[in-house]
Amino acid sequence: MMDKSDELVIAGKAYGSRLLVGTGKYKDFAETKTAIEASGAQIVTVAIRRTNIGQNPDEPNLLEAISPSKYTILPNTAGCYSAQDAVRTLRLARELLDGHALVKLEVLGDPRSLYPNVVETLEASRTLVKEGFQVMVYTSDDPIIAKQLEDIGCVAIMPLASLIGSGMGILNPWNLQIIIENAKVPVLVDAGVGTASDAAIAMELGCDGVLMNTAIAAAKDPVRMATAMRKAVEAGRDAYLAGRMPKKLYSATPSSPVSGVIAPVQDKAA
Amino acid sequence: MEVITLQVNGRSVSVPAPITAAQLIQQLELSGKRVALERNGEIVPKSLFTQQGLEDGDRVEIVVAVGGG
């Protein structure tokens, strides 16, 4: 049951789900649609690409399977290696989505690791914010850069847990914690989540949400993993809000009463 | 009839001139599809497709939404 008072608010809009999902790497649109429904996600990322010229004009369209009337479509700049290309891509996306301003900015620095180029990311953020975009920004887990992106006016900061598509989980929880503590806008882990426990850990750290694609799409059973991720994000969020018990090496107080234990059997011969 | 060559999504496409963005989209069988168009690095708003003329050598990008993370 979703707690109404615990919604994720991004750029003034409230979402019941704290799990954001991508639409890449699925077998077909039918699987994409079923997995996304199972994930409970309300914000769904898409990429912007050149249309095939002169090939199969009746090819199905992603936005017919994932309708912008049902989901908040979050166009990304995946594959862009410069601020300029990222800005152009999102201008096209805004036009494509009828003026929709919420976007995911990612400017990559290296095709092998897909590590973000934060210099280009900062530059693109400035331009996009000036042009009225609501920028959810993918970045490294550097707390200083995260703060600078927030100061520029990004509406959500999305540090990586580990490299895109790696499934390595959260490699630097301490940096994430610093970013979360410093931020006044939502912080979402984007990239690196491999399985449900990774998502739960991100939420337990205090992340406002998790964005993932490969962890679901590359699972043997994507629909089932989508369900697992929905539960993990909800469980992690509840655990964070509940406030965990402190860790300690020894427990001075066992869970069961210390008094009233039955007497040990006496040795009659004694 | 004059024929001009455009670079559409990185490919040379020869079309009869004059031609508007809307006519190019129609010629490419993309009418009614959700697409966005850029001409020489500048966005052409959908509302201007029927007015925006294209010239020889123009670089045109036509994009759609695809699966991505």
Three-state secondary structure readout of A17-55: CCEEECCCCCCCHHHHHHHHHHHCCCEEEEEEEECCCCC
When CB atoms are compared, the residue of B9, B43, B68 closest to A91 is B43
Which B residues in the span 25-64 are in contact with A, Cβ-Cβ below 8 Å?
A: 28-30, 33-38, 41, 43, 45-46, 61-64
Among A164-178, A251-265, B53-67, the range scoring the smallest mean pLDDT is: A251-265
Task: Give the mean pLDDT of A223-230.
Answer: 98
Task: Give the mean pLDDT of A9-21.
Answer: 97
Please give the angle made by the CA atoms of A139, A142 and A145, to the nearest 5 degrees.
70
The distance of B1 to chain A (nearest Cα, Å) reads 23
Tell me the two tokens of residue A97: 């989505």
Q: What is the 3-state secondary structure (H, E, C) of chain B?
A: CCEEEEEECCEEEEEECCEEHHHHHHHCCCCCCCCEEEECCEEECHHHCCCCEECCCCEEEEEEEEECC
Cβ of B62 within 8 Å of Cβ of A26? The answer is: no
**Number of Cβ pairs < 8 A linking chain A and chain B:** 106
Q: Which residue has the higher pLDDT, A139 or A52?
A: A139
Cβ of A93 within 8 Å of Cβ of B36? The answer is: yes
Tell me the two tokens of residue A83: 């601020």
Tell me the two tokens of residue A224: 């089932």
Q: Is the pLDDT of residue B17 over 70?
A: yes
When CB atoms are compared, the residue of B11, B30, B38 closest to A57 is B30
Instruction: Look at residue B69 in the predicted model and tell me its pLDDT.
Output: 86
Instruction: Look at residue A132 in the predicted model and tell me its pLDDT.
Output: 98
Task: Give the mean pLDDT of A31-60.
Answer: 90
Q: Is the pLDDT of residue A2 over 60?
A: no
A27 → chain B, closest CA residue: B67
Q: How far apart are the first and last CA of chain A?
A: 62
Continuous H helices in chain A: 29-39, 62-65, 83-96, 118-130, 143-152, 173-182, 196-204, 214-217, 222-242
Q: For tokens 């900015």, what's the residue?
A: A105
Q: What percent of chain A has pLDDT over 70?
A: 96
Count Cβ atoms below 10 Å from residue A83 Cβ, excluding itself. 22
Instruction: Look at residue A5 in the predicted model and tell me its pLDDT.
Output: 79
Q: Is the pLDDT of residue A54 over 80?
A: no
Burial call A26-43: b when 16+ CB within 10 Å, e when fewer: beebeebbebbebbbbbb
pLDDT-derived band of residue A270, with 50, 70 and 90 as boundaries? low
Residue A104 annotated as catalytic: yes
Grouping H, G, I as helix, E, B as strand and the rest as coil, residue B7 is: strand
Would you say the pTM of this structure is higher than 0.90? yes
**Which residues does chain A have within 8 Å of residue B64's beta carbon, measured at their own beta carbons?**
48-49, 51, 61-62, 96
The distance of A16 to chain B (nearest Cα, Å) reads 20
The distance of A103 to chain B (nearest Cα, Å) reads 12
Cβ of B28 within 8 Å of Cβ of A54? The answer is: yes
Which position among A13, A27, A70, A104 bears the catalytic label? A104
B49 → chain A, closest CA residue: A95
Predicted ipTM beyond 0.90? yes
